[in-house]
Amino acid sequence: METILKTEGLTKRFGGLTAISNVNFELKEGEIKGLIGPNGAGKTTFYNLITGVYKPDSGRVLFMDEDITHLPPHEICKKGFARTFQVTSIFPRLTVFENVRLAAQVGFGGGVSPFKDVSKMKEVTDRVDQILEIVGLKDQRNQIATEISQGDQRLQEVAIALGSNPKVLLLDEPTAGLSARETRYLVEKIRELFVNSMIKSVVLVEHDIEVVTDLAYTICVLNYGEVIKDGPAAEVCNDPKVQEVYLAGGKINAASQRP
């Protein structure tokens, strides 16, 4: 598999605090990669660096061999990035369909006005209906986005991200606030989307280690902004330093159900 996303020596300081220190990271095309670490490890800062929200003090970000380090967030998005957030981020007064359609309009190179005549955008509406059916939100198509369950709102965020037709999907704590049943359902949907090539390359930040080991091919572990281990999921999970730093000596095993 070819490398689609890469960082070289990425470093970010906030005053006297080094949030990200000389991070080298690679995501292969067609891979789900977990990014884990304790609170304050630098995971969200890392996401903000590769999506242009923050600019690094040193190092660079390469996407498909192009240096995107200093591009603004909207330009990076156009290159093929989509991101979900820890806190659900949707347009609260629009329907589920309308939320996903706005993203799909961007993905197809159109404008983002929610007031355009959708009958003139058949390709977009067909794409949205396809996505909603795949993620299991077809029956909620015309409901107001904030009136569906928390689990369905998380699925809606994934649907919105898919609407922009991304090459890389960044998932930030997608199961936060979900019940065990909702978490299992979301994991199965992410796996299904990946197997069916609706999602092509994924970076997954997630505190639920079972979710990470269930989905990820490889895992990168951050601690105090530094990479302490990066490699195949089973190898990382069984590493003594990872067990000590991230799991406080607990034991985990990589799942064998990955797509």
Average pLDDT, the chain: 86
Show the beta-strand stretches assigned E in the chain: 3-14, 17-28, 32-36, 58-63, 66-67, 81-83, 168-172, 202-205, 218-223, 226-232
* Calpha distance 34→125 (Å, rounded): 32
Domain ranges of the chain: 3-88+166-245
Please say if the pLDDT value at position 87 is more than 80. no
CA angle 178, 180, 186 (to 5 degrees): 65
Q: What is the pLDDT of residues 177-224, one digit of tens each?
A: 888 998 998 899 898 888 888 888 999 999 888 999 999 999 999 999
Quick count: other Cβ atoms within 10 Å of Cβ 199?
Answer: 24
* Calpha distance 70→61 (Å, rounded): 9
Domain 3-88+166-245: CATH superfamily, name plus number: P-loop containing nucleotide triphosphate hydrolases (3.40.50.300)
DSSP 8-class letter at 246: T
Please say if the pLDDT value at position 256 is more than 50. no
pTM for this entry: 0.85
Q: What is the pLDDT of residues 234-251, one digit of tens each?
A: 999 889 988 887 655 444
Q: What is the pLDDT of residues 5-31, one digit of tens each?
A: 999 999 999 999 999 999 999 999 999
